[in-house]
Structure 1
Amino acid sequence: MATTTGTAAPELTGLPLLGSLLDLKNDSLGTFLRARRDHGDVVRISAGPPGLRATVYGVFSAEGAQQVLAGESANFRKDNAFYQEVRESFGNGLLTSQDEDYRRQRRLVQPLFTRRRVDGYAAAIATEVTTLAEEWRQADAGTVDVLQDMARLALRAVARILFGTDVDAAVEIVEKNFPDVGAYVLRRGYSPVNVPRDWPTPGNRRAAAVHRALYEVCDRIIAERRSSGAAPGDGQDLLSLLVEAESAEDGSFDATELREQVLVFLLAGHETTATSLGFALHLLALHPEERKRAHEEVDRVLAGRTPGAGDLDALPYVTRVLKEAMRLFPAAPVIGRRAVAATVVGGVAIPAGADVIVAPWVTHRHPDYWEDAERFDPDRFTPEAEAARPRYAWFPFGGGPRACIGQHFSMLESVIALAMLLQRYDLEAVDTVVPVASAITLQAAGPARCRLTPRNP
């Protein structure tokens, strides 16, 4: 039983009328860093004019993040306004569902994400990476934007694994429409007042058209797959397995549920991996000594061949590079919850009904766990260094019972892709600083261009 006796949370200083609204709007990640630096590991942050003011409690320590996501996860639910907007746009899939809905979905989907099953996707990932590596040979002036290209690579890879041969149609629709859905969710999720979605405002009409396009492509492919008459087990793509997923206890997914899972897999399955890969390449391009070590490991272990799932353990330095990229640029920089009952985190009282955030962006830079935190150093993730830190000093995949089901898939794709690209290219950074902002996921506000030099012409 959680105790409710604690001190009042220190409050981040803001403007008299607007609180921290402008700071959060202009630079939410920097504002959360400043809150921890100036006030400690649990901070009360208020934003908005009187009468419409919203308050959130920022929890920034590893121990606090573990309490929110794992130890008291039942008390910290996805009931806030932001998750409701995500739910309205992407459906009640694994990302947003709760209680028995979530438990049923997780039971049905879990067999599709076993290590053995996921390892079987390595060849499909390698096919997409090979295509991109060949395209890079025709890059204008030998320069590419690695963030942009990793977003497309990750989307094509997850679409191939999800849909099989129906890749191009799905990728075109998703690339065109996902950014608009994300902007709509973000705008409504952080607005103190919203008009109903069915009011015919210009913004609502545009959003409805975007949603229809996404729903139609998913529904079409799902309907085709259901009518194909394939015997159970014949389909190798993830959608076929979702269609076949069934148990005596949980039944199976209906058409709407399938669409919701597909949309969540497309969103979560490509943006997280794209962020990790893109920033890993950007950071290596900025750091020649670390890049040299990664090249040497790839050359020694693979000797020119295409990596597979069995090579992950043999590429520890490449893996450490990716983990360090995820520390500095976590794809989910802020994770929101709402407290059901009053509790205490780090000696500070959190009232019932309070909105709470944990922030990998902040905890991954916490001086108690990370010396010289802004420095790129993959050796922070040697086994000895990891064992010496609290479990939730690094949590790019969330944690607790709601931890990302696709962790192994993301790491498999990232290691294979990074190793294959390092086999073929040396990189030098053109853009040394890439500004970022927090949206549904971490978003770059500028390019991350790299100059390529082929290593194996």
Structure 2
Amino acid sequence: MPTTQTNQTTGATGAAQAPGPAGVPLLGSMFDLKRDPLGTYLAGHREHGDVVRFTAGPPGLRAEFYGVYSPDGAQQVLAGQAADFRKENSFYEEIRSSFGNGLLTSQDADYQRQRRLIQPLFTRRRVDGYADAIGVEAETLVERWGGLTGTVDAVDEMSRFALRAVSRILFGADVETALDPVRTNFPVLAHYVTARGFQPVRIPRTWPTPTNREAMAAERALYGVCDAIIAARGGAAAESDDLLGLLAAARGEDGERLDATELREQVLIFLLAGHETTATSLTFTLHLLGQHPEVQARVHAEVDGLLGDGRRPAAADYNELPYLTMVLKEAMRLFPAAPVIGRRAVAESVIGGTVIPAGANVMVSPYVIHRHLGHWEDPERFDPERFTPEAEAARHRYAWFPFGGGPRACIGQHFSMLESVLGLAAVLRAFEVTAVDREVALTHGITLEAAGPVRLTLKRR
């Protein structure tokens, strides 16, 4: 029968060692983490507290990591002591190897340089300029759904919409050239990265196994389409009003710019971070609305009052849809697209009275913290009223943080929120949705994933 690891104090700091589940003999929590990682993190928090040590795997291949499950702990890791917790774990290594050293994975001087060049392209004013491209793809989605009967899988449909939207914003007139290679090859490479990131022993990528060969072919295809578009525009000298053109034209104070390889790496990272996360948020927002018709009716009334004339949703409409935004935020609380945020401790630290040794893998979990009983009443209940302005102002900054926090907070926060709100407004103006699946099994790779379809029945309004 599983036992519980006990607290012991360290002589140097007086801090306690982290408790955690012992799991089964020899293998620890390996089976639980493989079967239901998010449920295992949540159970660990409920049973052992705000900092939990997990071990998994047989002796000699055993992995160990520390789950951090309090808003204060998240703030310490991501903001207050961010320099002591770096993106140096195996997961980021795999993303870096496949998708390049872009803004998500770069560190130190590379990151600071990239952030200086790219930040001006993600101001609220700039992002609002992408609203029309979002609106075009939302109209395409509504038209597509108008020709469907029966049920749709929100996972597939929202992934299609989000990928088309971010690709249109990145590539502009070249979107159709890029779309098929990206749609075909991106999932292959993302799943490859996820699998390798969780493997205790990773064989070299150069070994000609079927999995390696498939992944390398997908990588070549993705690199090829990005490089071809960049080269056709004249490399870094190109100018256009899509995001790729703006990236190419970006200059630092001393004239520094991104070269063609760096442009491709940023494009791939934006595709990775910009479509899977938004697709997840959209999928589960629709799933929850499909289970709560009274909430959906209130959203319909708000959308109809603003967009009843049938016009395309615009950037100015974002602030005029407060209840829909509350619904989205509550869905992102229950189903955060980034359910865990990994770091490696480079110095010994103490979090909540518990010692984190140097070299430890640390997993901050929005999924768990968004369910923390000390900050959320009845946390499994869907309740958009949690996100009134007054409720948000009264809450700990890191009780809800689906976009991370600190100096590495997601640069695309407003982009994701704008795309989600405008996309949902267009869909819900046209359709009433009903959830077919009451419960959805979850897992996670780079982002939160449904383990199967998330089916919706559509009714034209």
Same fold (TM over 0.5): yes
Q: CA deviation at 1:432?
A: 1.8
Q: Distance in 1 between matches of 2:301 and 2:13?
A: 54
Q: CA deviation at 1:135?
A: 0.9
Matched, 1:260 2:260: no
**Residue 446 of structure 1: which of 444, 449, 452 is its match?**
452
Q: Distance in 2 between matches of 1:183 and 1:449?
A: 22
Please list, as runs of the form range in 1=range in 2, the aligned pairs for 1:57-456 lying within 5 A after superposition. Answer: 57-141=66-150, 143-226=151-234, 232=239, 235-249=240-254, 251-304=256-309, 305-455=311-461
CA displacement, residues 125-174 of structure 1 (integer Å, 9 cap, x when unaligned):
10110011011111133x22222111100000000000001212322112
Q: CA deviation at 1:30?
A: 0.6
Q: Distance in 1 between matches of 2:458 and 2:47?
A: 42
Q: CA deviation at 1:184?
A: 1.4
Q: What SS is found at the alignment partner of 1:130?
A: helix
Number of residue-to-residue matches in the alignment: 449
Q: Distance in 2 between matches of 1:140 and 1:288?
A: 20
Q: CA deviation at 1:428?
A: 1.3
**For residues 250 and 4 of structure 1, do their structure 2 counterparts lie closer, same or farther at Cα, with a shift above 3 Å needed?**
farther
Q: CA deviation at 1:198?
A: 1.4
Q: CA deviation at 1:429?
A: 1.4
Q: What SS is found at the alignment partner of 2:104?
A: coil
Q: CA deviation at 1:229?
A: 7.5
Runs of 4+ in 1 over 6 A off after TM superposition: none
Q: What SS is found at the alignment partner of 1:17?
A: coil
Q: Distance in 1 between matches of 2:441 and 2:186?
A: 21
**For residues 223 and 12 of structure 1, do their structure 2 counterparts lie closer, same or farther at Cα, with a shift above 3 Å needed?**
same
Task: Look up the equivalent residue of 1:365 and give its one-letter code.
Answer: R
Please list, as runs of the form range in 1=range in 2, the aligned pairs for 1:9-88 lying within 5 A after superposition. Answer: 9-88=18-97
The answer to whether the 8 Å contact 1:4/1:342 transfers is no
Q: CA deviation at 1:13?
A: 2.1
Q: Distance in 2 between matches of 1:207 and 1:429?
A: 35
Q: Distance in 2 between matches of 1:363 and 1:83?
A: 22
CA displacement, residues 316-353 of structure 1 (integer Å, 9 cap, x when unaligned):
00000110111111111111000010010011000111
Q: Distance in 2 between matches of 1:213 and 1:168?
A: 15
Structure 1 portions without partners, runs of 5+: none
CA displacement, residues 182-231 of structure 1 (integer Å, 9 cap, x when unaligned):
2211221111111211122222222111110111011111111226986x
Q: What SS is found at the alignment partner of 1:251?
A: coil
Q: CA deviation at 1:250?
A: 6.3
The answer to whether the 8 Å contact 1:426/1:453 transfers is yes
CA displacement, residues 35-54 of structure 1 (integer Å, 9 cap, x when unaligned):
00100000110111111111
Q: Distance in 2 between matches of 1:443 and 1:287?
A: 21
Matched, 1:8 2:23: no
Task: Look up the equivalent residue of 1:361 and give its one-letter code.
Answer: Y
Q: Distance in 1 between matches of 2:94 and 2:235?
A: 33
CA displacement, residues 248-276 of structure 1 (integer Å, 9 cap, x when unaligned):
43611111111100000001011111111
The answer to whether the 8 Å contact 1:108/1:250 transfers is no
Q: What SS is found at the alignment partner of 2:398?
A: helix
The answer to whether the 8 Å contact 1:4/1:343 transfers is no
Q: Distance in 2 between matches of 1:330 and 1:172?
A: 28
Identity %: 64
Q: CA deviation at 1:5?
A: 4.2
Q: CA RMSD in A?
A: 1.4
Q: Distance in 1 between matches of 2:169 and 2:367?
A: 30
The answer to whether the 8 Å contact 1:79/1:337 transfers is yes
The answer to whether the 8 Å contact 2:284/2:331 transfers is yes
Q: Distance in 2 between matches of 1:188 and 1:251?
A: 35
Task: Look up the equivalent residue of 2:102 and give its one-letter code.
Answer: G
Moved more, 297-306 or 330-339: 297-306
The answer to whether the 8 Å contact 1:150/1:274 transfers is yes
Q: CA deviation at 1:64?
A: 0.4
